[in-house]
Amino acid sequence: MASNGSKTQASPPPQGIYVPSPTFFVAEGTSSYNTTSPPLDLETQSKHSLFLVEGGVRGLVLLGSTGEAIFIKPEERVQLLKSQRKALDDAGFKDRPIIAGTATQNIDETLQLIKESKDAGAEYAMVLSPGYFAPATSQSGIAKWFTQVADRSPLPVMIYHYPGVTNNLFIAPSTFEQLAAHPNIVGTKLSHGIIDDQALIAASPKIDHEHFYVFTGLGQNLLPVLAIGGVAAIDGLAGVFPRVVVRLFDMFNQSLAKGMSKKDMDEMRLLQFRICEGEKLVARWGVVGMKEACDRIWGLGSRTGGRLPLAGGFEEGDGEWSKWSKVFEGLKDLENQFKSEDTKGK
């Protein structure tokens, strides 16, 4: 990998579906719970991580937006990363990389978090763009900021472009073309639905796509993004139904290799439709919805485990879950069907 100005070209993460994992906290009513900062629930975190990789997920993104990174203390970041690296390694999944998120505005602080993440077992850093002064930030300023980080980062860097949490900071495709040439910048997660901009990055002839991978942050865009040159998704719904999202990724690549038929495309479109139905919950409720679904569907974690202002899950009696339960029960059946098929195929 490149660091401290080295010109060695880093490698992107392996292609496949990644999950921006929620950070699990102990639930209300437990002895260690407190309303200000409920402790990490590392036991549930590890159960969830293994549930994902056993379902075919290629790796984990920890401490991203879904991981509530802005609520996590520095020492907790280290605990979380170390515990999940150990959980994966002990279970025989040493080949599943961990991508650690950073969400700071300051270059030196970002680099410190990356160093600590590397020491704790992360293989890549997913760096959120600095959006506090978004209206006054130029494309040149964005490019210089990421270049400074990448020049000194001890881990390969992925650019995290999520206008929804960065004051609508916009990174132009031309800026991505410039940054993609950096030897220590290896990809991006695009968490927006502007499909033409995604095409201008994922299909750009000015980018070396063997070195710079484009991941959509929206599973509802997986099939179209694969078609325009993206490699996969870092997707929230896969945190509840990993096999469902992985199946679409596998179907596309397998059909592409053998020669895609109309039947293949029809099946992929139908699966993409099912994914889009479930993604509506993730788009509306984010990590709150993911934790709600993990608890209600699989009994993983607690929907009341969170840090303010996100603590508490859906309000009891407001009927919110009933709006989603039919879709999610259908996806659960599909997940179990794919699990059964996978087991028979081994």
CA atoms within 13 A on the CB side of 83: 19
pLDDT computed for residue 14 by the predictor: 97
pLDDT at 3 over 50: no
Mean pLDDT of 290-310: 89
What's phi and psi for 162, nearest 5 deg? Answer: -135, 85
pLDDT of residue 297: 97
Quote the strand ranges of 97-206, DSSP E.
Answer: 98-102, 124-128, 157-161, 185-190
**What is the C-alpha separation between 268 and 105, in angstroms, rounded?**
40
The HSE-up count of residue 75 (CA atoms within 13 Å, CB side) is 1
Q: Which residues are catalytic?
A: 160, 189
pLDDT at 5 over 50: no
Across the range 39-67, mean pLDDT stands at 97
Do 86 and 122 contact (CB within 8 A), yes or no?
A: no
Contact 243, 228 (CB under 8 A): no
pLDDT at 188: 98
In a domain, 202, yes or no: yes
Average confidence (pLDDT) over 33-61: 94
Mean of the pLDDT values across residues 203-215? 98
Q: How many domains does the chain have?
A: 1
Task: Note the pLDDT of residue 78.
Answer: 97
> Three-state SS for 242?
helix
Where is average pLDDT lowest: 245-254, 307-316, 329-338? 307-316
Mean pLDDT of all residues belonging to the chain? 94
Q: Is 290 domain-assigned?
A: yes
Span 220-241, mean pLDDT?
97
| pLDDT, tens digit, 9 for 90 and up, residues 71-82 | 999 999 999 999
Quick: pLDDT tens for 161-183.
Answer: 999 999 999 999 999 999 999 99
3-19 mean pLDDT: 83
Instruction: Tokens for 194, please give them.
Output: 């502007």
Instruction: Write the CATH number for 329.
Output: 3.20.20.70
Q: Is the pLDDT of residue 227 over 90?
A: yes
Is the pLDDT at 23 greater than 60? The verdict is yes
Domain presence at residue 11: no
Q: Look at phi and psi of residue 68 and say left if phi exceeds 0, alpha if psi is from -120 to 50, else beta.
A: left
Q: Retrieve residue 257's tokens.
A: 């290799």
Stretch among 4-8, 125-129, 278-282, 322-326 having the lowest mean pLDDT: 4-8
DSSP 164: G
- pLDDT band for position 116 (50/70/90)? very high
Q: What is the pLDDT of residue 131?
A: 95
The rounded distance, in Å, linking the Cα atoms of 36 and 31 is 14
Please check whether residue 12 lies inside any domain of the structure.
no
In a domain, 27, yes or no: yes
Distance CA 111, CA 115 (A): 6
Specify if 3 maps to a domain: no
Give me the pLDDT at residue 345, please. Answer: 65
Checking if the pLDDT of 4 tops 60, the result is no
Tell me which amino acid residue 328 is: F
The pLDDT, as a whole number, for residue 1 is: 42
Residue 225 lies in a domain: yes
Q: Which structural domain, as residue segments, surrounds residue 186?
A: 18-345
Among residues 97, 117, 136, 94, the alpha carbon closest in space to that of 19 is found at 97
Distance from C-alpha of 249 to C-alpha of 15, rounded to nearest angstrom: 10
Q: Is residue 7 part of a domain?
A: no
